[in-house]
Amino acid sequence: MFKSIFTKYVAFITLLMAFSIALLVLTISTMLSSYSTETKSTLMNKTADSVAVAMETYFHYTDEDSISESIVNDINGIAEISETLVYVIGDSGRLLITNDKDFTMGLDMLREDTVENIIADPGSYSISHIEGTFEKLRFNVFRTLRQNDGNNGVIIISSLSNRDESLSGPMVRTILVASIWIILASSITAYTLFQSITDPLKKLGEAAKAFAKGDFKKRVYVSGNDEVARLASAFNNMARALEKNEELRNSFLGSVSHDLRTPMTVILGFVDGIRDGTIPPSKQDYYLETISSEVRRLSRLVNSLLEISKIQSGEKKLNYTKFNVSEKARQVLLTFESRIDEKRLEVDFNCAEEVIVYADTDAVHQVLYNLIDNAVKFVNEGGRLSVCIELKNKKAVISIKNTGEGIPEEELPHVFDRFYKSDRSRGLDKTGTGLGLYIAKSNINMHNEEITVQSIKGLFTEFVFTLPT
């Protein structure tokens, strides 16, 4: 029954409200009961005083044997106001006046010794049957009735309850009705509120199940700007990232499969041709050079994959040393000399003789190699390649720029993504895997530095990164 979070929350809120209201009702009832008891006691005492004054005034002019109808009506009126039973009893125990229909005026209601005991110790009879006079337990207030003959009777103000029911009854009923409405309203509110919270969570759960099955197109739409809406927004962002990664992964697998299959097919064909004599000995050196080139291509691909694996697993650690980054850039640039000559490029190497940085020399070498390799690949025939290193704000700023077709503006945000190869680069670069720029960015980020790219289509592309000096 309480398996879902929605049911648990609604039940919890309802029980909490019921408990709180019950506690409130108990507290108010206790206070009301105490107040009602005080009010009743005060009212009974005032009634007793009023009856005593009225009777003493009456007996001042008459005697006990002549009880007029007017004094009876006066006493009954006082009793009616206080909602109590009044008994005016003479010293002999005879009932002179009462509004109690169960007793007849003139009846010997109490014994003389009982009257004397009440006068002597009224407190012992305040909650009493008064020696069996009343069938039910009564709450009583007494006053001494002073008569003309010098003897004393007693006035009894009696009630079955010690509370003022005219006050407590309606109040308790009002509180109970209000409590029921509050619980009902709270339950409806809690139901509506938690429904609005749990519905998006259910949608998130359904989307997560879809993700587990490989469907990353599922989205969760939640209105508002609360925590659940922000969670849904973050979930959708994650879904988009997963969908994009899945697309890149599929693209990468296709690219890597092609890049693996092509050189392996070439290698296998040439090796078989050499072994079975199809390729004559005079041409074997040429084909062995081709095989060697394809093996190097496979090696680069495997090394890139291993590099990414180390970066993602956190195994790659930087070994910081001080070295001259200008000399490092010069050495890397020289490795592309033959390719630069093939394209008849004009090279600008605008670097200070010594720019000492504190970084991992192997990681920086890899960044420089990947960026210059890209620049040489995509520079136009007879174009310009520029390498610039300068100091700014205690950092070495390295820029690698090439002329050429450039990168379309819509592709710039993705050039550092894993496995990303634009359609243009697929046409111009038959050997790349779309991992070089991702590795370069990861190495720079591990130094807590930045790498950026800017490009104007048809003019140039420039990569800039910083290193700590």
Q: Could you tell me the pLDDT band of residue 166, with boundaries at 50, 70 and 90?
A: low
Taking each continuous run of H as one helix and of E as one strand, the counts in the chain are 11, 12
What integer pLDDT is reported at residue 286 of this predicted model? 81
* pLDDT at residue 222 tops 60: yes
Please indicate whether residue 27 or residue 389 has the higher confidence score (pLDDT): 389
* pLDDT at residue 402 tops 90: yes
160 within some domain: yes
Q: Average pLDDT, stretch 366-370?
A: 89
Q: Average pLDDT, stretch 38-52?
A: 86
Distances in whole angstroms, Cα of residue 309 to Cα of each of 245, 306, 373: 16, 5, 22
Beta bridge partners of 452: 464
Q: Could you tell me the pLDDT band of residue 1, with boundaries at 50, 70 and 90?
A: very low
- The domain boundary residue, chosen from 135, 167, 199: 167
Q: Could you tell me the pLDDT band of residue 453, with boundaries at 50, 70 and 90?
A: very high
* Percentage of residues in the chain having pLDDT higher than 90: 14
257 within some domain: no
Q: Could you tell me the pLDDT band of residue 426, with boundaries at 50, 70 and 90?
A: very low
Q: Average pLDDT, stretch 61-76?
A: 77
User: pLDDT digits over 115-124, tens only?
Assistant: 888 888 988 8
Q: Could you tell me the pLDDT band of residue 200, with boundaries at 50, 70 and 90?
A: confident
Mean pLDDT of the chain: 81
* pLDDT at residue 24 tops 90: no
Please indicate whether residue 4 or residue 429 has the higher confidence score (pLDDT): 4
Tokens of 463: 């990569």
Q: Average pLDDT, stretch 108-137?
A: 88
Q: Average pLDDT, stretch 47-57?
A: 86
Q: Could you tell me the pLDDT band of residue 323, with boundaries at 50, 70 and 90?
A: very high
187 within some domain: no
CATH label of the domain that carries residue 15? 3.30.450.20
- The domain boundary residue, chosen from 167, 189, 223: 167
> How many Å apart are CA 211 and CA 384, to the nearest integer?
48
397 within some domain: yes
Distances in whole angstroms, Cα of residue 408 to Cα of each of 22, 48, 311, 424, 436: 71, 105, 28, 9, 19
- The domain boundary residue, chosen from 167, 185, 202: 167
Element (H, E) at 465: strand 460-468
DSSP assignment letter at 136: S
181 within some domain: no
Closest CA to 141 of 59, 80, 71, 50: 50
* pLDDT at residue 168 tops 70: no
Give SS3 for 59: helix
User: Against a cut of 0.85, is the pTM above it?
Assistant: no
CATH label of the domain that carries residue 459? 3.30.565.10
* pLDDT at residue 193 tops 80: no
* pLDDT at residue 98 tops 60: yes
- Residue labelled with tokens 């009735």: 145
Beta bridge partners of 323: 357
107 within some domain: yes
Least confident of 50-54, 61-65, 239-243, 304-308: 61-65
What integer pLDDT is reported at residue 326 of this predicted model? 92
Q: Could you tell me the pLDDT band of residue 358, with boundaries at 50, 70 and 90?
A: very high
Give SS3 for 444: helix
Please indicate whether residue 272 or residue 310 has the higher confidence score (pLDDT): 272
Least confident of 282-286, 326-330, 417-421: 417-421
> How many Å apart are CA 80 and CA 442, to the nearest integer?
96
Q: Could you tell me the pLDDT band of residue 90, with boundaries at 50, 70 and 90?
A: confident
Number of compact structural domains in the chain: 2
Those residues with Cβ within 8 angstroms of residue 81's Cβ, 6 or more apart along the chain or in another chain: 47
Q: Which residue range is the domain that position 79 belongs to?
A: 5-167
Query: Can you list the alpha helix ranges (DSSP code H) found in 278-336?
Result: 281-313, 325-334
65 within some domain: yes
Q: Could you tell me the pLDDT band of residue 384, with boundaries at 50, 70 and 90?
A: very high
Closest CA to 388 of 315, 333, 432: 333
What integer pLDDT is reported at residue 71 of this predicted model? 84
User: Which segment, 206-210, 272-276, 418-422, 445-449, is predicted with the most confidence on average?
Assistant: 445-449
Q: Average pLDDT, stretch 403-417?
A: 85
Identity of the amino acid at 102: D
38 within some domain: yes
Closest CA to 301 of 253, 248, 337: 253
Tokens of 244: 């994009």
Beta bridge partners of 322: 358
